[in-house]
Amino acid sequence: MKPTRRVYSSAHNRGFSLLELMVVIVIIGIAAGAVRLAVTSNDPVQELEQAAGQFAYRMERIQDQVLLSNRERGLVFVQDGVYQLEWQEGDETLGEPDIVWSLVEETRLWGVSEDIQLNLTLENQWVELNQALPTEQFALEPHVILLPSEDYTPAYDLVLSLTDSTNDEVRVRADGFNSPEVLRDER
């Protein structure tokens, strides 16, 4: 006697189509996105903290470059960011000062969006930041000088705040010896 074969209908055997699986994956993705949006807080200071962290990171990398090159660098702050300067001895015969500062690169070393406001204090004295770099000859002067000894002078505080609100601030404190430290000030 031969065993009988049972024939299953194709409706029971076919499984899910690729289209059905893709629809389910899209629905799960949308649901996960909605949950993420509902769970995450919309903290406006988070952008400030991220920008301050990027600044502190860049300063550490520049300090490493100064250490390896054994040559001082300068930082000049403007309202929308920071530029890196290098120096060379001036030529008296051309009427140049003893030290001439020039840009390392034409682009900013670090910058912020237009909804972030920067305030700088050097040795506890507030400094008004220019809108842009000076264009006059020999007018570039650094606010901070990075030294090959891994120090920098003077100590500074860079305060980042939102232009439409001064309730929350993020401060980058640099004491002249240690890596810049990011602090969140809540009022």
In the predicted model, what is the mean pLDDT of residues 138-158?
92
Helix runs in 40-85, H state only? 45-69
- State whether residue 91 is helix, strand or coil: coil
What digits encode the pLDDT tens for the residues 75-125? 999 999 999 999 999 888 888 899 999 999 888 889 998 889 999 999 989
Residue 2 has what DSSP assignment? P
Whole-model pTM over 0.75: no
Token look-up 């232009």 returns 163
d(CA 99, CA 137): 13
Structural domains in the chain, sorted by start? 45-186 (3.55.40.10)
What digits encode the pLDDT tens for the residues 26-83? 999 898 888 877 666 567 778 889 999 999 999 999 999 999 999 999 999 999 999 9
What digits encode the pLDDT tens for the residues 158-175? 999 888 876 788 999 999
d(CA 84, CA 144): 10
